[in-house]
A and B are shown apart, each in its own frame.
Chain A
Amino acid sequence: MARLVFLGRLADLAGSPEREVAPGPLADVLAAMPRDLAVALLDERVRIALNGALVTGGEAVVLAGGDELAFLPPVSGG
């Protein structure tokens, strides 16, 4: 399995801060989610980190078993 991590308000929207999903293309993972959540995760202001490193073009990510993909909305600062 792979793990999705939702930060900030995305955790509220997803109903939990983490979710286990089957490995595979992120596009497939998102397609299986409620539409409002998928749209929020793909917002251009949401950054994506794969296994702790920021990536661009996150929609093209293909999740492998054990991967952790984090969705990071705009920070509100310390």
Chain B
Amino acid sequence: MGIDVRLLHQPFNPGQFVGPFTHAHPGLGGVCTFVGEVRGGDGIEALELSHYAPLTLPGMEGLARRAAARFDLMGIMILHRTGIMLPGEPIVCVSAAARHRRAVFEAVDFAMDHLKSDSWFWKREKRGGVWAWIEPRAEDHSDLTRWA
């Protein structure tokens, strides 16, 4: 069972990672991939994600292992950007492979809900040339109760 978790510090093309991930799991019945991008509009000029290396990557690896075990995956890949990003750039890519489709839909949903609420990232956005930190959102925490 393959777990591939990475923090990326430069813009990335999700397709370049999803192809090899898929090919690494012969015999799979389905792959589901979610790509999150920096939302445009609303005056957003840039988004910056900071992390704390000793906690962030180990936390993502633990999440990947939990998802893999819970949904009986053949493999899961979690890629997450850090640093300064512009609208339209990918922030996160989660891909899951399994024998059956329902497992991969749910695994990706599970991983995204946890990445959004309890992973070690701090986010700020720039509008009108001014950076402002983004506070935790209540919806992100209520999303987690779906998996309790």
Chain A residues within CB distance 8 Å of chain B: 5, 7-9, 11-12, 49, 51-54, 68, 70, 72-78
**Given A8-B133, A9-B133; A77-B119 close (CB under 8 Å):** yes
Q: How many Cβ-Cβ contacts under 8 Å join chain A to chain B? A: 65
A39 vs B115: C-alpha distance when bound (angstroms): 29
Contact pattern, B 110-148, Cβ under 8 Å of A = 1, otherwise 0? 000001111111111000000001111100100000000
Determine the chain A residues whose CB is within 8 A of the CB of B134 once the complex forms: 76
A78 vs B137: C-alpha distance when bound (angstroms): 12
Determine the chain A residues whose CB is within 8 A of the CB of B91 once the complex forms: 78
Residue picked from A5, A9, A74, most chain B C-beta under 10 Å:
A9
**Given A8-B50, A9-B133, A78-B91; A72-B119 close (CB under 8 Å):** no
B136-A74 in contact (CB<8A) = yes
> What are 5 A-B pairs with beta-carbon distances under 8 A?
A7-B50, A7-B122, A75-B120, A76-B123, A77-B116
Size band of the interface chain B makes with A: 20 to 34
A9 vs B125: C-alpha distance when bound (angstroms): 12
Across the interface, A77 reaches (CB within 8 A) one of B52, B123, B124, B133, namely B123
Across the interface, A75 reaches (CB within 8 A) one of B54, B122, B124, namely B122
**Given A74-B135, A77-B116, A78-B115; A49-B121 close (CB under 8 Å):** no
